[in-house]
Chain A
Amino acid sequence: MKAALRVLNELEAEGCLGRYAIGGAMGAMFYAEPVTTYDLDIFAVLPQAGTGLLTLQPLYEALRLRGYEPGEYVMIEGIPVQFLPAYNPLLEEALEQARPESLEGVQTRILQMEHLIAIAIQTNRPKDHLRVRILLQEGNPDLALVSEICNRHGLTPPVSEKGEGLWTPPKT
């Protein structure tokens, strides 16, 4: 894990990867109990191609030069890493406000819990519903901030600012 984060830090320093932060289950695990997961989800600002489209190409080339073969995920130093571009305003804001952390001396960033909750509400899969519940129960989030983020991005907040009401996943 530490070696994989060092590689990500190098890629960011070289400009192949924009600002990055850990999200998904590994991000949520920072605030809540450990749950079994196998992917390290890395949210990142990607450089724009000449066409103005976001592209993974420079990142993938830099990874190949280091001996890591990109596929559905990239196995970096024993960890399957999935790169997820910040493709909407919520993810861009989450990345901007990600908190710097150190994993036993290796610097990294982790998305704020309140953003992880909002992203899970937006993504809206069954496992996201569970993640919202776990973070609300165990993470002690700033509910006013969760509401603020949700309102700003057109999402229904999971609970009131006073913690009233239980979050119910929207019907799909």
Chain B
Amino acid sequence: MDTAENLMRSALAQKERRRRQLAALPYAEKIRILLRMQRMADAAGRTRGAAPRAWQIDEQSLMPLPRIRKDR
């Protein structure tokens, strides 16, 4: 039977592996993850009246969302 210490060691090793996997992703994929994290943070912020801060760009194309695109 695993001791609590072994379980903890295994959990930490898993976390470390996960972080390394994330670090190895292409930059564009990391930006897509960042956009999701920003939107989650905005959702949490809304409950305490914080202004939204997530980047207004499309997750797939990484281009501006239509409503803020400027005519140039």
Binding site for B on A (CB under 8 A): 1-3, 29-38, 66-67, 77-80, 101, 103-104, 137-139
- CB pair B68 A33 closer than 8 Å: no
Contacts across chains A and B counted by CB atoms under 8 Å: 69
- CB pair A103 B28 closer than 8 Å: yes
By a CB distance below 8 angstroms, the chain A residues around B72 are 66-67
Which residue, of A1, A2, A30, A35, has the highest number of chain B Cβ atoms within 10 A? A1
Binding site for A on B (CB under 8 A): 19-20, 22-23, 27-28, 30-31, 33-34, 37-38, 41, 53, 55-57, 61-65, 68-70, 72
Q: Of the candidates B33, B55, B70, which one forms a contact with A67 in the assembled complex, judged by CB atoms under 8 Å apart? A: B70
Q: Of the candidates B22, B33, B57, which one forms a contact with A79 in the assembled complex, judged by CB atoms under 8 Å apart? A: B57
By a CB distance below 8 angstroms, the chain B residues around A38 are 38, 53, 55
Query: When chains A and B are docked, how far (Å) is the Cα of A38 from the Cα of B37?
Result: 10
By a CB distance below 8 angstroms, the chain A residues around B69 are 3, 77
- CB pair A29 B55 closer than 8 Å: no
The verdict on A78 contacting B34 (CB below 8 Å), with A29-B27, A139-B23 known, is no
Query: When chains A and B are docked, how far (Å) is the Cα of A35 from the Cα of B41?
Result: 12
Residue in A closest to B30 when the chains form the complex, CB atoms: A34
